Structure 1
Amino acid sequence: MSENMPTLPPEATAGVLTPRLFAYLVDICVIAVLMVMLFVIVAVLGVFTFGLAWFLFPLVGAGTGVLYSAVTVGGSRQSTIGMRMLGLRVIGPGGTRVDFITAAVHALLFYVAAGTVLVLVIDILVGLLRDDRRLLHDVLTGLTIVNAR
């Protein structure tokens, strides 16, 4: 998929790894707030459904980050709140917009890597070794993080 991508100018991806880290830290805070809100909603719903809604707790826990990324990266701004704050955006092959499903898969692959130390190290090493600074989960989904400014 990435072989068909036109070459981006070096300044498009120069220095994106450090802002990505800080954008992720911002996004983790946003996701945590969303999770707390959803947990409270599910807890209250559970009271009214005699505990039936409490089966949604695992879904809230596992899905909030992926859904957040799918909605924000797959949206019109092509970036999460943290990425916007740090001047980054996500583009698809050839500079195209990222769709909801691709953004969700991208996030899911990242969270799988983040939950597995060895895979995370490989993911980061790929980004350090590539000229375009794309991490392994970026390459697998055909996405590129670029400077938006």
Structure 2
Amino acid sequence: MTYSDALWGLPDPDTHQDFYADIPLKRFGAWVIDLLVIFAICVLILPFTAFIGLFFFWALWLGVGLIYRIWCMSARSATLGMRLMSIEFRNARGERFDSGTACLHTLLYTLMMSTLILQAISVIAILVTSRRQGLHDLLLGTAAVNRSALLR
């Protein structure tokens, strides 16, 4: 499957397994990297709040996380962690995210992460669905794919 074929929709997981190979592990690795990046940004911001940010660190974390994810997903359809793990997201048409899709995807992801039961369902969905989609991906019709498979 060439990149131009992928523009007509998400690759079929039965005929193009290379697009979804190791996605759960790569998504987890990207998630850990992104947590570290968000934490580092929050720590860098703290002195500019005269360390008052320590009292509302959860809000600082949430705000930085939202801005970081929306900005990265709008620009490259992947966060820094995802780029390091060689994955990126595609919409139902097989295209990179636009700003609206990146914003909606990030908001749904944040909602899933804020509720333990939704988070558990999302992780299970990533492990069992053929395209390795989380609950928020299923709702939007998006999927994470291996970037290297797109280049073939």
Q: TM-score, normalization: structure 1?
A: 0.79
Give yes or no for the alignment of 1:32 onto 2:31: no
Q: Which residue of 2 aligns with 1:11?
A: 18
In 2, distance between residues paired with 1:33 and 1:124?
A: 25
Q: Which runs of 5+ in 1 are unaligned?
A: 47-55
Paired amino acid for 1:23? A
Task: Say if 2:30 and 2:84, in contact at 8 Å, map to a contact too.
Answer: yes
Following the alignment from structure 2 to structure 1, what is the Cα–Cα distance between the partners of residues 70 and 100? 7
When the two structures are aligned, how many residues end up with a matched partner? 138
Aligned to 2:92: 93
1:34 CA displacement: 1.1
Per-residue deviation, 1:143: 1.7
* Kept in 2: contact 1:83–1:89 (CA 8 A): yes
State how far apart, in whole Å, the 2-side matches of 1:81 and 1:58 are.
21
Name which one, 1 or 2, has greater alpha-carbon Rg.
Answer: 1
Aligned position for 2:136: 137
Contact 1:14 1:132 in 2 (8 A): no
- 2:71 counterpart SS class: helix
Counterpart in the other structure of 1:64: 64
Per-residue CA distance 1:35-56 (angstroms, 9 max, x = gap): 1222322338x8xxxxxxxxx9
Contiguous gaps of at least 5 residues in structure 2: 1-7
CA contact 1:73–1:103 (8 Å) conserved in 2: yes
In the other structure, the counterpart of 1:74 is: 74
Q: TM-score, normalised by structure 2?
A: 0.77
**What is the distance in 2 between the residues matched to 1:100 and 1:57?**
27
**Which residue does 2:116 correspond to in 1?**
117
- Contact 1:42/1:57 (CA < 8 Å) preserved in 2? no
CA RMSD of aligned residues (A): 2.6
| Percent identity between the two aligned chains | 27
Q: How far apart are 1:86 and its partner, in Å?
A: 0.9
**Larger relative contact order (C-alpha < 8 A, sep ≥ 6)?**
2
- Which shows bigger deviation, 108-117 or 79-88? 108-117
